[in-house]
């Protein structure tokens, strides 16, 4: 099914969005994106999105950070040979503390990299399919459809009380 064309239905009520999303599951159209002025957990649940992979980036960053911090402190201690009162040059407890601090730092780095990577940022093409009313009081559902089912999709949105935002009519401002 060619999905070259996209259409957005704008709703004022989040409950209408949830009902439309449930109806889309049984249709041939595919929901591309849902926009809203504020986060809504009911809408997120209705989308049935898979679990995010950002946590794996955070975990990898934390593991790398711990080992980097521990070995960085150990390496510097060995290079400077600061022997204090006959204590070992590589002392475990203080270096675990340094490793812990680097764990936190690298976890944050991993999280930011994961957000950018998984989120597909920056997404300049998505701006062409955005209606500014979704920043105010509307919720928008962008749907990909085959060209021969446009009228049926328009009827689908209108039956559920949505305004229609057509991307092909609006000037592109990217």
The reply to whether 173 falls in a domain is: no
Same domain, 133 and 102: no
Domain-terminating residue out of 103, 119, 135:
119
Answer for the pair 162, 137: CB distance below 8 angstroms, yes or no.
no
3-state SS assignment for residue 144: strand
Section 144-151 average pLDDT: 89
Strand order through the sheet with 30-35: 30-35, 139-145, 5-11, 163-166
> Does 150 share its domain with 68?
no
Regarding whether 111 and 64 lie in a shared domain, the answer is yes
Q: With 80 as the cut, is the pLDDT of residue 3 above it? A: no
**Whole-model pTM over 0.85:** no
pLDDT tens column, 75-107: 998 998 777 788 888 889 999 999 999 999 999
Tell which residue, 37, 68, 34, has the closest CA to residue 48.
Answer: 34
Q: For the chain, what is the mean pLDDT? A: 89
Spatial CA neighbour of 29 closest among 50, 4, 3:
3
pLDDT recorded at residue 174? 45
CA distance 102 to 59: 13
Question: How many structural domains does the chain have?
Answer: 2
Q: How far apart are CA 25 and CA 78, in angstroms?
A: 62
Q: Is 60 exceeded by the pLDDT of residue 171?
A: no
């Amino acid at each position: 099914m060619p999905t070259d064309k996209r259409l957005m239905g704008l709703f004022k009520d989040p409950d209408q969005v949830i009902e439309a999303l449930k109806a889309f599951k049984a249709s041939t159209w595919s929901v591309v994106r849902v926009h809203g002025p504020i986060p809504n957990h009911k809408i997120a649940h209705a989308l049935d999105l898979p679990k995010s992979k950002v946590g794996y980036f955070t975990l990898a960053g934390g593991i790398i950070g711990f080992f980097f911090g521990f070995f960085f402190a150990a390496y510097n201690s060995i290079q400077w040979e600061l022997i204090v009162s006959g204590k070992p040059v590589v002392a475990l407890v203080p270096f675990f503390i340094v490793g812990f601090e680097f764990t936190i730092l690298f976890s944050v780095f991993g999280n930011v990299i994961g957000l950018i990577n998984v989120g597909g940022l920056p997404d300049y093409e998505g701006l062409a399919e955005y209606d500014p009313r979704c920043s105010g009081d509307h919720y928008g559902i962008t749907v990909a459809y085959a060209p021969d089912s446009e009228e049926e999709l328009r009827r689908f949105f209108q039956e559920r009380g949505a305004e229609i935002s057509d991307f092909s009519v609006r000037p592109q401002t990217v």
